[in-house]
Amino acid sequence: MRFFKPPPSPAIATVVLSLLMLLAPYLNLQFIYLQHHWRLAPKGVYGDTAMVVSAHGLASDIGRDVLAAGGNAFDAAVAVNFALAVVYQQAGNIGGGGFMVYRLADGQTGALDFREKAPLAADKNMYLDAEGEVIKGLSLAGHLAVGVPGSVAGMVALHEKFGTLPWDVLVRPSIYLADEGFELSEKAARMFNRYQADFARLNRHQPIVVRDQKWRAGERLAFPDLAQTLSRIAKFGHDGFYAGETARLLVDEMRAGGGLITQADLNAYQAVWRQPVRFDYRGHKIISMPPPSSGGLALAQLLQGASAYDVAALGHNSAAHIHLMTELQRRTYADRATHLGDTDFVDVDMAGLMAADYIAARNADIVPDRKTDSKTIRPGLVNVIESVETTHFSIIDPMGNAVAITTTLNGNYGAKVVVKGAGFFLNNEMDDFSIKPGYANQFGLVGDDKNAIAPAKRMLSSMTPTIVEKDGRLKLVVGTPGGATIITSVFQTISNIIDFNMSAQQAVHARKSHSQWQPDFVMLEKGTLNIGNMIGLMRRGHQPYSWPHFTYALGRVEAILVHPDGRLEGAADYSRGFDDRASGF
């Protein structure tokens, strides 16, 4: 599903909107003046001791219960992650991967990379035809799109290092959910219905979610094969997924469907501990994810670029504010396409790209009254962005440990392939590689040889799990799904809190915009601008695109803010009609 097609030219759109503005009083069109205001946000969930925020209320409650039973943030993370693999299957997973940024109560920080890898049999040109052209869809759907999963290895690694409660106790709630079933929300039913044709076309068997009649909210759905897989993981840990029966089922699925993953790939997979990206913004310390995620470095460029401006004086979501963010974003995403890749395979000049003089020079040609043409920043052209799905959860425990974890299957339900007999969806993360220099992936993101496919290489990501400190104390845990929009949503949420003094729920609830260099448009969530500011943006030369269903990707932020009095405010993005919930005590 595409987010947008090219919008009309700014000149034509400006004329049309100006006429509507003049005619509004006479044609009862006052609605065009409406702009969502962040002050209208509902209150967040408050707790004095602990907080969990995730994409589903059942998962958040399970994490809260783990903390209430004496577990720490890492114990809760394991339980939440496996629960999401059951109740939020379009993104929660054991067949994908992700990243974690953490901060211990004593101030120590770190990062865990459990991103998927290219199979050992993968090669640079595997999605190209004999003429060197991209075979459309081959990296997106079906068995050949699947990277080696890392989620289970990641959970095992963080539990081995920081866990306190027994592993099997933490996996047990997800087994119960899969075995006994749970009631489908309206969104869950809608999502299963939306992809019925893909599930039927891309699987060699009939997954349990495929049926003739539509799924309805309130129906109870169980996943017995997934329950058995989770039981093996609970009993054997790492070997419950990467060896034994689950591994056999996964390898058989790959072989039967023409995929590349073998037992050798599963044997070789390991999660990796990394040093997080650290930088300052207006007296705050920001801690975020390093490559193969582009999130931390891109966030550093955006926030440090914004630090040269009095952002608050521009007015939240004014034409001037959106213009500045767009200009910063264009340059950041051009750098992402040019310089970033898996640092286990390529050199990335992190220090240089984050240096104050480099960022100042990069942004020196930004002017307040006119956009910069993306083609002058770096050549290239992208016209469309496809739909995406990721999930994030944030946790603070009673001891003060904090965890930010973002995981994904990439697109909704990944490759749409369910492992026969094991009951879980597989990712389509191979599309996150640059399958051909200058060719855009499903998020409209382009890259070069630094992100080319290579055996056992991790593909570049936009996931941006982030923690913020103030005066040496924990202040914010934040992250979001949304493919390419992850970086800009986290950027705006942090700025909303620091620059505009919003509460966590206000910052999450506030409407957001996105631009990524290519395509050369500004994507606006419905309600971001009023008509006057929309015209002001167009007069600067921007091409805005407002789409009422943009919230499938933009927003969805899961945040926990530590207030000066020590209270925890959990902010889940339920205002846009999703199942996200905060749960604390």
At 11 the pLDDT is 57
Q: H or E stretch including 233?
A: helix 224-236
> Which pair of tokens denotes residue 411?
């697109």
DSSP label of 397: -
At 482 the pLDDT is 66
Cβ 215 vs Cβ 189: under 8 Å = yes
DSSP string, 157-204: HHHHHH--S-HHHHHHHHHHHHHH-EEPPHHHHHHHHHTHHHHHHH-S
Residues 6+ apart with CB under 8 A from 289: 99, 101, 111, 113, 276, 277, 295, 296, 406, 463, 464, 465, 466
* pLDDT in single tens digits along all 585 residues of the chain: 333 344 455 556 555 555 554 444 444 443 344 566 777 777 888 999 999 999 999 999 999 999 999 999 999 999 999 999 999 999 999 999 999 999 999 999 999 999 999 999 999 999 999 988 889 889 999 999 999 999 999 999 999 999 999 999 999 999 999 999 999 999 899 999 999 999 999 999 999 999 999 999 999 999 999 999 999 999 999 999 999 999 999 999 999 999 999 999 999 999 999 999 999 999 999 999 999 998 899 999 999 999 999 999 999 999 899 999 999 988 888 888 777 788 888 888 888 888 898 899 889 889 998 888 767 776 433 344 444 567 899 999 999 999 999 999 988 899 999 999 999 999 999 988 887 765 555 444 545 577 888 999 999 888 899 999 999 999 999 998 766 778 888 999 999 999 999 999 999 988 888 877 767 778 887 778 777 788 888 888 887 776 544 444 455 789 999 999 999 999 988 766 678 888 899
Q: What is the largest CA-CA distance in the chain?
A: 71
Cβ 467 vs Cβ 137: under 8 Å = no
DSSP label of 418: B
Q: What angle do CA 97, 417, 90 make, to 5 degrees?
A: 55
At 440 the pLDDT is 53
Q: How far apart are CA 429 and CA 431, in angstroms?
A: 5
> Which pair of tokens denotes residue 464?
């941006």
User: Could you confirm whether 406 is annotated as catalytic?
Assistant: no
> Which pair of tokens denotes residue 301?
């460029």
Q: How far apart are CA 436 and CA 134, in angstroms?
A: 7
Paired sense of beta strands 544-547 and 522-525, if any: parallel
Paired sense of beta strands 284-288 and 466-470, if any: antiparallel
Q: How far apart are CA 179 and CA 226, in angstroms?
A: 8
Q: H or E stretch including 246?
A: helix 244-257
Cβ 124 vs Cβ 430: under 8 Å = no
pTM of the model: 0.89
DSSP string, 507-540: HHHS--EE--SSSS-EEEETTSS-HHHHHHHHHT
Q: Number of C-alpha atoms within 13 angstroms, CB side, residue 12?
A: 3
Measured over the CA atoms of residue 366, residue 367, residue 369 and residue 372, the dihedral's sign is: negative
Residues 6+ apart with CB under 8 A from 297: 277, 290, 291, 336, 340, 348, 350, 353, 354
Secondary structure of residue 22 in the 3-state scheme:
helix
Q: Determine the residue type at 533.
A: N
Q: How far apart are CA 387 and CA 410, in angstroms?
A: 10
Q: H or E stretch including 58?
A: helix 57-68
DSSP label of 227: H
Cβ 51 vs Cβ 582: under 8 Å = yes
At 34 the pLDDT is 57
Cβ 326 vs Cβ 378: under 8 Å = no
- The closest of 360, 362, 359, 351 to 290, measured between CA atoms, is 351
At 35 the pLDDT is 66
At 21 the pLDDT is 47
Among residues 229, 246, 390, 408, the one annotated as catalytic is 390
Terminal Cα distance for the chain, rounded: 39
